[in-house]
Amino acid sequence: MRETDFVSGFARGLKVIEAFGEKTPRLAIADVSKATGLDRATARRCLLTLAELGYADYDGKFFSLTPKILRLGHAYLSATPLPQVVQPYLDRLAEEVHQSASASVLDGTEVVYIARASQKRVMSINLMPGSRLPAYCASMGRVLLAALPENEARQLLEKTSLAAFTPRTKTEPNELLEELSKVRQQGFAIIDQELELGLCSIAVPLKNDRGITVAALNIGASAASISADQMAHKFLEPLQAVANALRPLLR
Amino acid sequence: MRETDFVSGFARGLKVIEAFGEKTPRLAIADVSKATGLDRATARRCLLTLAELGYADYDGKFFSLTPKILRLGHAYLSATPLPQVVQPYLDRLAEEVHQSASASVLDGTEVVYIARASQKRVMSINLMPGSRLPAYCASMGRVLLAALPENEARQLLEKTSLAAFTPRTKTEPNELLEELSKVRQQGFAIIDQELELGLCSIAVPLKNDRGITVAALNIGASAASISADQMAHKFLEPLQAVANALRPLLR
């Protein structure tokens, strides 16, 4: 790519949008400048442009995003066949097993939810399409990392800050790589309260008609209602049935 | 706003993202140029910038969005208190009435879903946070339009292309304004298969602690299982209970 093909104003603007988040819903120009590394004049121009186009509100001091910004992310969800194809299968699966079922893909070191059918809430956070979790300690993340060549998976783990969310979280790169090799062999991953105490989940790869892993599917359940050991016994078959049914539909 | 405060490259880039959609998941440079009105060189630079930053894939001819683009829309959902506050209430409501429950806000002539708890699927399309429906023929849209000053509602209806999705869709501006005045008086809106045959829904306004309507809540049900007349009898009370419980939490 030639340098002249790069629209810097666009790239900077996208950075500014990403500066807004759960803990930073309202930002002043100085906040955005600090979060993005852009100088204040540039941050200010990007914010004013967002406000002018209706993607942000401005009260004279603070900027906040408006629902119009949802158009940008939703373009992916409505434009990509995968979430559309998977959703009805997840709906039926969740109803059948009385647990939440989800599908996600890998984006860098995180899994991104692309579809979800929720039943009773087990997790403290509300997951929806667009939600992200660190790949190394999520069942779908383990499945997606296991689908990569081992050196790629190792590189991603090296880039990840491996925090212990619970006393059970595996955070040693070598232990995680061993875990991935186990997942590769057995064809599924089980997480026993590594992300949140009280939460277990099981994931399988979703492969396309050429056998390439394009996403992961999972079922999450409360550790109080089912032990991690029982997860495979109870949920592996229905998960694999969905993966098998979807496989010929994914090109 | 001064012209020099506007980052045109950013504004053009956002237009390019919005060119992708359900019917246009893969776009060549010429397609984007046509959809956005930008010249081909500009469309090309914006697309290459998206690809360079990982927001788009490029196969040499067609561009498609990647899950990274979800970060942009998700910034709103995770950064805005409303969806976070409303979601657990919708979850409980949906479970209680065994129907899908949603919350939305107005964006121009459309309602945008900001939270949803889905039960059995009634609608043919899959609704999720970020999904949009035309306001004039959706129950939450009627409630949100009714909350506007009448001349503003009239102006929005004038800007809307009033299509008949079913033989029951109301498309006459004056009939719609009368409907809005009825909704204003009774405090709720019922849609009887105007958006899709087989689908009924009922919506109420969600007001903040100062009495200002900040969103709408609804319950959708299959017309085969319940008539429009019974909707209020069955669902109005639980909907209003949620709106009342949320009111003091919304500042």
Domain at A102, CATH number: 3.30.450.40
Domain C-terminal end among A70, A95, A125: A70
Q: Is residue A237 within 8 angstroms of chain B, CB to CB?
A: no
Q: Which residues of A touch B112 (CB under 8 A)?
A: 67, 70
Q: Which two tokens stand for residue A159?
A: 């880039």
pLDDT at B21: 85
Query: By residue range, what is the domain housing residue A180?
Result: 80-249
Question: A72, B105: Cβ pair inside 8 Å?
Answer: no
What are A178's two structure tokens? 């061993």
Confidence of residue A31 (pLDDT cuts 50, 70, 90): very high
> Is A94 found in the same domain as A43?
no
Q: Element (H or E) spanning B189, and its range?
A: strand B189-192
| A83: closest CA of chain B, how far (Å) | 10
Q: Which has more pLDDT, B203 or B115?
A: B203
Residue A225 inside a domain? The answer is yes
Are A117 and A152 found together in one domain?
A: yes
Closest CB to A74: pick one of B14, B73, B79.
B73
Task: Please give the average per-residue pLDDT across A5-16, as a whole number.
Answer: 94
Residue A162 contacts by C-beta under 8 Å, 6 or more apart in sequence?
A: A136, A171, A172, A173, A176
Question: CB within 8 A of A94, min separation 6: which ones?
Answer: A100, A101, A117, A118, A119
Interchain proximity A129–B130, CB inside 8 Å: yes
Q: Which long-range contacts (CB under 8 A, 24 or more apart) does A188-191 make?
A: A188/A143, A188/A232, A188/A236, A188/A239, A189/A139, A189/A140, A189/A142, A189/A143, A189/A146, A190/A139, A190/A228, A190/A231, A190/A232, A191/A137, A191/A138, A191/A139, A191/A142, A191/A228
Q: Strands, DSSP E only, in A139-212? A: 189-192, 199-207
What backbone torsions phi and psi does residue A196 show, to the nearest 5 degrees?
A: -155, 135
Contact B13 A7 (CB under 8 A): yes
* B72 with A46: Cβ contact below 8 A: no
Asked whether residue B131 carries a pLDDT value surpassing 90, the answer given is no
Q: What is the DSSP letter of A67?
A: G
CA–CA–CA angle B232, B163, B134 (5° rounding): 55
Q: Are residues B158 and B44 in the same domain?
A: no
Whether A79 sits inside 8 A of B25 (CB atoms) is yes
Query: Do B94 and B64 share a structural domain?
Result: no
Determine the average pLDDT of the residues in A26-50: 96
Nearest to B139 by CA among B201, B223, B227, B230: B201
Per-residue pLDDT averaged across B170-196, rounded?
96
Longest Cα–Cα distance in chain B: 59
Chain centroid, CA B26 distance in Å: 24
Closest residue by Cα to residue A176 from A196, A195, A199, A154 = A154
Nearest CB to B65; choose among A10, A76, A131: A76
- Best of B39, B50, B72, B214 to disrupt the A interface (most A CBs within 10 Å) is B72
pLDDT band for A251, please (50, 70, 90 cuts). confident
Same domain, B178 and B54: no
Lowest-confidence pick of B27-36, B117-126, B144-153: B117-126
Q: What is the pLDDT of residues B73-102, one digit of tens each?
A: 877 887 777 888 898 899 889 889 988 899
Best of B23, B58, B76 to mutate (most A CBs within 10 Å, chain A)? B76
Q: Where among A11, A37, A70 does a domain terminate?
A: A70
Alpha carbons A160 and A134: distance in angstroms, whole number: 8
Do B65 and B188 have their domain in common?
A: no
B:101-120 residues touching chain A, CB 8 A cutoff? 105, 107-108, 112, 114, 117-118, 120
Task: Confirm whether A144 is domain-assigned.
Answer: yes
* ipTM score for this prediction: 0.82
Q: Phi-psi region for residue B191, left (φ > 0), alpha (ψ -120 to 50) or beta?
A: beta
By Cβ distance, the residue of B17, B49, B114 closest to A75 is: B17
Both tokens assigned to A64: 């906040």
Domains of chain B: total: 2
Residues A111 and A166 in one domain: yes
* A181 found inside a domain: yes
| For residue B31, pLDDT beyond 90 | yes
Q: How confident is the model at residue A130 (pLDDT cuts 50, 70, 90)?
A: confident
pLDDT at position A231: 95
C-beta of residue A214 within 8 angstroms of C-beta of residue A206: yes
Run of H or E including B51: helix B40-52
Domain boundary among B14, B38, B71: B71
Q: Which residue has the tokens 């429950």?
A: B101
Q: Distance (Å, rounded) from C-alpha A217 to C-alpha A137?
A: 15
Work out the average pLDDT over B106-119.
Answer: 89
AA identity, residue B49 = T
Under 8 Å between Cβ of A204 and A215 = no
Whether A65 and A84 map to the same domain: the answer is no
Residue B165's Cβ-side half-sphere holds a number of Cα atoms within 13 Å equal to 17
Give the closest of A14, A44, A75 to B21, CB-based.
A75
DSSP state of A130: T
- A20, A68, A79 ranked by CB distance to B21: nearest: A79
Which residues 59-78 in chain B show a CB within 8 A of chain A?
64-78
User: For A137-196, how does the pLDDT look when each residue is reduced to its tens digit (9 = 90+)?
Assistant: 999 999 999 999 999 999 999 999 999 999 999 999 999 999 999 999 999 999 999 999
Give the residue among A66, A24, A55 at the shortest CA–CA distance from A33. A24
Residues B169 and B198 occupy one common structural domain: yes
Q: Which of residues 116-155 of B touch A (CB under 8 A)?
A: 117-118, 120-121, 126, 128-132
As a whole number of angstroms, the distance between CA B13 and CA B138 comes to: 31
Establish if A75 belongs to a structural domain: no
Contact A207, A187 (CB under 8 A): no
Least Cα distance to A249 among A209, A204, A205, A206 occurs for A209
CATH number of the domain to which B66 belongs: 1.10.10.10
CA-to-CA separations, B134 to A84, B11, B107, B159, in angstroms, rounded: 20, 25, 10, 11
Angle at the Cα of A132 from the Cα atoms of A139 and B24, rounded to 5 degrees? 110
Q: Is B124 helix (H, G, I), strand (E, B) or coil?
A: coil
CB contact under 8 A, A95 and B120: yes
Cα A193 → chain centroid: 18
Q: Are residues B92 and B185 in the same domain?
A: yes
Locate all alpha helices (DSSP H) within A29-172, ordered by sequence.
Answer: 29-36, 40-52, 70-79, 81-97, 139-146, 150-159
One domain, residues A50 and A143: no
Q: Which two tokens stand for residue B71?
A: 């970060």
Q: From the CA of A170, how many Å to the nearest CA of chain B?
A: 26
Q: How buried is residue A143: exposed, middle or buried, by Cβ count under 10 Å (0-12/13-18/19+)?
A: buried
Q: Coil, strand, or helix at residue A111?
A: strand
What's residue B121's pLDDT? 62
Q: Which residues of A touch B98 (CB under 8 A)?
A: none
Q: Tell me the pLDDT tens digit for each residue of B140-154.
A: 999 999 999 999 999
The pair of three-digit structure tokens given for residue B75, joined into one six-digit string: 């910034």
- Mean pLDDT, chain B, rounded, equals 92
CB contacts, 8 Å: B4 with chain A: 45
**A:B CB pairs within 8 Å:** 204
Q: What's residue B128's pLDDT?
A: 79
Please give the Cα distance from B20 to B26 (Å, whole number).
7
Integer Cα distance of B112 and B106 in angstroms: 6
Statement to judge: residues B221 and B163 lie in one domain? yes
Phi and psi of A209, rounded to 5°? -70, -10
pLDDT range class, residue B119, cuts 50, 70, 90? confident
